Structure 1
Amino acid sequence: MSDLINTLGVSASGMQAQSARLRHVSENIANADTPGYHRKTVSFQEHVLRGERTGQVTPGPVALDQSALTRVFDPAHPLADSSGHYDGSNVDLVVEIADAREAQRSYEANLRMFDQARQMTQGLLELLRR
C-alpha cells in the first residue's frame, strides 16, 4: 500500500515540476520580442528525504541563458545605437515550442500514472472492505 502512496507523490511532484517548466517556457515566448531579454531555463533536482532518494523531483533555481543576444538592425528603434543596431532577445520560438510540447507530454504521463495509482489504491481498499 505504501508503494502506491509513494507513486502518487512521485507523479504529483512530476506534474508540479513540469508545470513550473511550462510557466517559464510561456514567459520566454511572451518575451521573445523584448529587447535584452534572456531566455529562462529551469532544471530539476532529485528530492532526498532523510538521506534517501524518494523518486520525487523539485524544480531547481531558474537560470538565465547566457548565449549571445541577437543584434537587430532598426535605426528607428529608440534603443538603437549609432550604427542602428540594438540587442534583441535570445529566445528561439522553435526551441520554446518543442520544450512546451515536451513539458505537456511529461505532465500528461505523470497525470496518467497518478490516475492509475489512484485507481489501484481504490481497488485495493474495496478488496479490504469485503
Structure 2
Amino acid sequence: MANDGGDFARSMSIATSGLRAQAGRMRLISENIANADSTAPTAGGDPYRRKVPTFTSELDRTLDARVVALGKVRPDTSAFRIKHEPSNPAADPAGNVKYPNVNSLIEMTDMRDAQRSYEANLNIISATRRMIQRTLDILKA
C-alpha cells in the first residue's frame, strides 16, 4: 500500500509540472498577443520578435519520475510584417514600418492547445485526489 501512495504523489507531481509548463507557455503567448501591433522605439528599428516556448523532460530524483518543464524560449526568426506608413514615427527612410512577426490566429490556436493541456493536467490532479479520498474512506470503514 505504501507504493500506491508513492504512485499518487508521483502522478500529482508530474501533473503539477505540466500545469507549470503550460502556464509559462500561456504567459509567452499572452506577451506575443499583447505586442502584435507594437512598433520599434526608433525609426527603422526592429519591433518585438515573437517568442516560441520549448519544453524539456527532467528527472525528479525525489520521486524517480520524469516531469516536464518550460525550456529555453526561442525567438521566431520569420520575417517581420512590413507596412508602408511614411507618417509613422517608426518608419524607415523609405516610409516602411516593421511590425512584429506575430500572427494572432496562430497565437489563439496555441492558447487553446495550452489551455486544453492545462485542463488535462488539472483533471489528473482532481482524479488522483478523488482516488486518495476513496482509499481513505475505505480504510476508515
TM-score scaled by structure 1? 0.92
Q: Which residue of 1 aligns with 2:27?
A: 23
Q: Which residue of 2 aligns with 1:11?
A: 15
In 2, Cα distance between equivalents of 1:106 and 1:45: 15
**Is 1:94 paired with 2:98?**
no
In 2, Cα distance between equivalents of 1:125 and 1:13: 25
Conserved 8 A contact 2:60-2:67: no
**Is 1:128 paired with 2:139?**
yes
Conserved 8 A contact 1:46-1:53: no
Structure 2 unaligned segments of length 5 or more: list them: 40-46
Could you report, residue by residue, the CA deviation over 1:33-53 in whole angstroms, capped at 9, with x for unpaired residues? 112111111111101134x96
Structure 1 unaligned segments of length 5 or more: list them: none
Identity %: 39
Change over 3 Å in CA distance of 1:47–1:53 after alignment to 2: farther
Q: Which residue of 2 aligns with 1:82?
A: 93
In 2, Cα distance between equivalents of 1:46 and 1:84: 46
In 2, Cα distance between equivalents of 1:54 and 1:124: 23
**Residue identity in the other structure for 2:26:** L
In 2, Cα distance between equivalents of 1:67 and 1:115: 40
Aligned-residue RMSD, C-alpha = 1.5
Q: Which residue of 2 aligns with 1:34?
A: 38
Could you report, residue by residue, the CA deviation over 1:53-76 in whole angstroms, capped at 9, with x for unpaired residues? 623101112111111111121000
TM-score scaled by structure 2? 0.85
* 2:54 alignment partner, SS class: strand
Q: Which residue of 2 aligns with 1:68?
A: 79
In 2, Cα distance between equivalents of 1:89 and 1:48: 36
**Residue identity in the other structure for 1:58:** A
**Residue identity in the other structure for 2:81:** T
Count of paired positions: 129
How far the C-alpha of 1:128 sits from its partner, in A, is: 2.4
More strand as a share of residues? 1
